[in-house]
Amino acid sequence: GAVVSQHPSRVICKSGTSVKIECRSLDFQATTMFWYRQFPKQSLMLMATSNEGSKATYEQGVEKDKFLINHASLTLSTLTVTSAHPEDSSFYICSARTGGAGETQYFGPGTRLLVL
């Protein structure tokens, strides 16, 4: 199956710093990548949809200036949490779609962010 990697797997940072998370599709080209956030014991919450070469589409309530998304190539998307605060501590998961809109999303292993 399609493989998606994420880096780092875990990060601890001080409040006010910025954190960058990378999402890569290893064996396929992903025209669309998705960024999710998951709080403990809750379901996935879509933050934004990222299409290669264009601006990301953010879900309602997600601050685009705080969560910067760059999808510069068909195999790489990055999420930067700017000026992180403790309430941003969460499990961030990316997924990538192998083909068109109806295709399956494959998930990266996730990045656990802890902001002190």
Partner 1 sequence: GQNIDQPTEMTATEGAIVQINCTYQTSGFNGLFWYQQHAGEAPTFLSYNVLDGLEEKGRFSSFLSRSKGYSYLLLKELQMKDSASYLCAVMDSNYQLIWGAGTKLIIKP
Nearer to partner 1, 82 or 98 (CB): 98
The amino acid occupying position 32 is T
Question: By CB under 8 A, is residue 60 in contact with partner 1?
Answer: no
C-alpha–C-alpha distance, residues 91 and 115, integer Å: 12
Question: By CB under 8 A, is residue 98 in contact with partner 1?
Answer: no
C-alpha–C-alpha distance, residues 26 and 63, integer Å: 29
- Contacting residues for 88 by C-beta, under 8 A, at least 6 apart: 81, 113, 115
List 19, 84, 93, 113, residue binding partner 1 (CB under 8 A): 93
Q: Residue 104 has what DSSP assignment?
A: P
- Hey, which residues between 18 and 37 contact partner 1 (CB under 8 A)? none
List 13, 20, 22, 44, residue binding partner 1 (CB under 8 A): 44
What residues line the site for partner 1 (CB under 8 A)?
1, 42-44, 46, 91, 93, 101-102, 104-110, 112
